[in-house]
């Protein structure tokens, strides 16, 4: 059974940093595409970044240059390092995984999801 669990969320001031972790069980991160998404109240779930099984990464324009996705295959974890945080980054953050993901920016393409971790950025 595939399970994902996010951690590392919290409250931070504008300009601060957080590192989110996505721990995987039941599958190997090196085989799957893993993505990070977020969802703010009243808004659709939004693609942030993904990392393919070959290490290829991609970022949404809204976070490019501020967020970095990486993985540690030995620990079976994927990370999202977030810097220069803004109030607009406040949301619930989710990691997701899929084996055969055609459009890696679409939440519907990912099979497995974690419960999410809240990130709140205050001014």
Q: Tell me the pLDDT tens digit for each residue of 56-86.
A: 999 999 999 999 999 999 999 999 999 999 9
Read off the pLDDT band of 27 (50, 70, 90).
confident
pLDDT at residue 29 is higher than 80: no
What's the confidence (pLDDT) of residue 31? Answer: 86
Residue 100 DSSP SS3: coil
What's the confidence (pLDDT) of residue 1? Answer: 80
What's the confidence (pLDDT) of residue 119? Answer: 98
What's the confidence (pLDDT) of residue 4? Answer: 96
Q: What percent of the chain has pLDDT over 90?
A: 86
Mean pLDDT, rounded, for 84-111: 95
| Environment class of 3 (CB within 10 Å of its CB; exposed 0-12, middle 13-18, buried 19+) | middle
Read off the pLDDT band of 33 (50, 70, 90).
very high
**Cα–Cα distances in angstroms (integers) from residue 77 to residues 18, 20, 25, 41, 42, in the given order:** 16, 10, 9, 27, 30
What's the confidence (pLDDT) of residue 80? Answer: 98
DSSP output for 76-91: TEEEEEE-S--GGG-E
Read off the pLDDT band of 23 (50, 70, 90).
very high
What's the confidence (pLDDT) of residue 71? Answer: 94
């Amino acid at each position: 059974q595939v399970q994902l669990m996010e951690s590392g969320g919290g409250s931070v001031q504008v300009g601060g940093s957080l590192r989110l972790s996505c721990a995987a069980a039941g599958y190997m991160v090196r085989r799957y595409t893993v993505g990070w998404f977020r969802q703010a109240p009243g808004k659709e779930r939004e693609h942030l970044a993904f990392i393919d099984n070959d290490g290829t990464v991609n970022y949404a324009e809204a976070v490019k240059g501020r967020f970095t996705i990486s993985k540690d295959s030995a620990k079976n974890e994927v990370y999202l390092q977030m810097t220069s945080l803004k109030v607009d980054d406040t949301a619930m953050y989710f990691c997701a995984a899929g084996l055969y993901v055609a459009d890696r920016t679409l939440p519907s393409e990912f099979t497995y999801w974690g419960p999410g971790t809240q990130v709140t950025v205050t001014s």
